[in-house]
Amino acid sequence: MNSSSPPCLVLASTSIYRRQLLERLGLPFETSSPQVDETRLPGEAPERLAQRLALAKARNVSGPRPGDLVIGSDQVAALGAEIFGKPGSIENAVAQLQRMSGQEVLFHTAVALIDGRNGHEQCENILTRVRFRSLSELEIRRYLEREPALDCAGSAKCEGLGIALLDALSGDDPTALIGLPLIALARMLRAAGVPLP
């Protein structure tokens, strides 16, 4: 790649949700699957875990792609020190939603951007507070029958029917809860010289 070529934008994720969000910015991009161990370190705070994994994903994909702009992102849902990952099964999702019923859960969504032209790294963590209604097992199972959110941290899709499980949510970026904070990312891209409106 010569120095006058614009950098290729790469999303270090195979998540359909992140891809759909990034499409909103109207920029051409590629996707690449990062190979990262997502195991939580002993005593690691949820927000640190999200930031570490977002950077690790971007670094993993950026390594063999010098000159590209690589985006990494990760989300961690936490109730105190307890972390909720992707449930993977209906029974796990039921258990997660029962645990979160009537509670305020903090969703830490980190986004990282690595500029392969100069090695510059940017990373931000966006916090979203989500208060779940008191949910009966019947309501939980009825929700999961209609919208099995097995690939979502916290077992619910706020952009879909999952919004009906909530009492309230608050945060600085509505796209953060879906998985990719576009306000922060747009800020990072502009800082890297990418023209955005």
Q: Which is the catalytic residue, given 37, 68, 74, 173?
A: 74
Does the active-site annotation cover 173?
no
Please list the residues that pair with 70 across neighbouring strands: 10, 114
Q: 158 — phi, psi (to 5°)?
A: -65, -25
Dist CA 39 CA 178 (whole Å): 22
Tell me how crowded residue 99 is: count the other CB atoms within 10 A of its CB.
Answer: 15
| Closest to 12 in 3D by CA, of 49, 76, 86, 64 | 64
The catalytic residues are: 74
